[in-house]
Amino acid sequence: MNYNIAVISGDGIGPEIIREARKVLDTVGAKFGHSFSYTEVLMGGVSIDATGVPLTDEALQTAKNSDAVLLGAVGGDVGKSSWYNVAPHLRPEAGLLALRKGLELFANIRPAVLFDELKGACPLREDIIGEGFDFIVVRELTGGLYFGDRWTKEVDGLRTASDTLIYNEKEIARIAKTAFEIARKRRKKVCSVDKANVLDSSRLWRQVTKEVAEEYPDVELTDMLVDNCAMQIVKNPTQFDVILTENMFGDILSDEASMITGSIGMLASASLGETKLGLYEPSHGSAPDIAGQNKANPIATILSAAMMLRYSFNLDKEADKVEAAVREVLKKGYRTVDIMSPGKTLVGCDRMGDLIAAEI
Ligand code: IPM
Ligand code: MG
């Protein structure tokens, strides 16, 4: 079968890591008899340079017409790049937000898995890691502070700014369902994270989540305050299976979760909606400091492509194969610089892609 993939290489290391993911996909295609066609879509800084905006309507339309979207990274150096000398809705990241909203991708799935081979890179003590941890952050992606009203103006002679954290019950219920469905296929535990001791939006979140939980009697629901959760992630990460949370908390906690795995360069993510069309991207950013130097770790993007095979195309066998190939290459001792340790073999971005493709 042929699958149409909209590819957003984006900025910084984006083009390098996307190249390796496509290499791996093409190898999967050749081996399993599928073909993948790619349509390049501009987004982020490169789109600003070419069109003046971070995402054009045509680009969004191309993404909508595809079977899935594979994204490298967007954005530049906030302190240095001219991409940031403009209004917020014209900056590179605004393209990503418009894409998530435009495709109605309300569920962001970010796994935090400690690969056995990389235990040494985990910044946590061995007694904390135990047998290793494997949890998923399910982050609401199209609501909350990111999409509420915002303004900056002078009030009573003072520069004043406001952002609005708003959720309705429908938005909460659908992301809660996603979390429960995922938990059902795992260890059947959802920990819903909020700030219900202060925020109204969190109190509604807690209530609605409880209501949804009634449809999932086989899944255990617990609640946790976000500040405590930030602490628990480094104190006892093995307690978590699925963490369910709103947009802003999820942004912060998912970075924390990725950090304790040893390398953000390893973590994939998927953004899903009601349909099969999903957006797949590494959890890390565009790393402008190492762009174009063949130093980037393409594994998170390759694992994101595996998630695409699994969730958008129902190609589980193929996805398993990609994940196994990544593990095998790590087991053989190959490392990019971000996960390098003594006695291992240092390779660049393109060689890492070659090795994984060869393993398939
Ligand atoms: C992420 C990123 C984005 C976000 C930025 C680039 C807008 O941090 O995907 O986590 O905050 O959602
Ligand atoms: Mg983030």
Q: Which domains does the chain have, with CATH numbers?
A: 1-106+264-360 (3.40.718.10), 123-260 (3.40.718.10)
* Residue 264 confidence (pLDDT): 80
CA of 301 to the centre of ligand 1 (A): 16
* Residue 52 confidence (pLDDT): 95
Neighbours of ion ligand 2 (CB under 5 A): 251
* Residue 22 confidence (pLDDT): 98
CA of 291 to the centre of ligand 1 (A): 19
Q: Is 251 a catalytic residue?
A: yes
Q: Is 195 a catalytic residue?
A: yes
User: Best of 74, 81, 93 to mutate for ligand 1, by most ligand atoms within 8 A of CB?
Assistant: 93
Extract the tokens encoding 176.
Answer: 């809660």
pTM value > 0.95: no
Residue 95, φ and ψ in degrees, nearest 5 = -65, -40
CB 93 less than 6 A from any atom of ligand 1: yes
Q: In the 8-state DSSP scheme, what is residue 86?
A: S
Q: In the 8-state DSSP scheme, what is residue 157?
A: T
**What is the rounded CA–CA span in Å between residue 166 and residue 144?**
5
Q: With 0-12 CB in 10 A as exposed, 13-18 as middle and 19+ as buried, what is 245?
A: buried
Q: Report in angstroms the alpha-carbon separations of 104 from 65, 160, 215.
A: 14, 31, 24
Q: How far is CA 25 from the centre of its chain?
A: 19
CA of 64 to the centre of ligand 2 (A): 23
Can you list the positions of beta strands (E) in 219-352? 220-225, 242-245, 268-272, 279-282, 334-335, 345-346
Q: Is 321 a catalytic residue?
A: no
Ligand 1 atom nearest to 281, measured from its CA: 9
* Residue 118 confidence (pLDDT): 86
* Residue 178 confidence (pLDDT): 95
Q: Is 255 a catalytic residue?
A: yes
Question: What is the mean pLDDT, run by run of 10 residues, along the chain of 360 residues?
Answer: 97 98 98 97 96 97 98 92 89 94 96 87 91 95 96 98 98 97 95 98 98 98 98 97 98 92 87 96 93 96 96 95 96 94 95 98
Residue nearest to atom 11 of ligand 1 (CA): 251
Extract the tokens encoding 285.
Answer: 């950013």
CA of 187 to the centre of ligand 2 (A): 26
> Which ligand places an atom closest to the C-alpha of 93?
1
The residue from 77, 255, 350, 354 that is catalytic is 255
3-state helix, strand, coil in the chain (%, to 5): 45, 20, 30
Which of 136, 245, 129 shows the shortest CA–CA distance to 195?
245
Which of 217, 220, 223, 222 shows the shortest CA–CA distance to 202?
223
Q: Is 146 a catalytic residue?
A: yes
**What is the rounded CA–CA span in Å between residue 34 and residue 360?**
14
* Residue 121 confidence (pLDDT): 82
Cβ atoms of 190 and 241 closer than 8 Å: yes
Tell me the Ramachandran region of residue 314: left when phi exceeds 0, alpha when psi lies from -120 to 50, beta otherwise: left
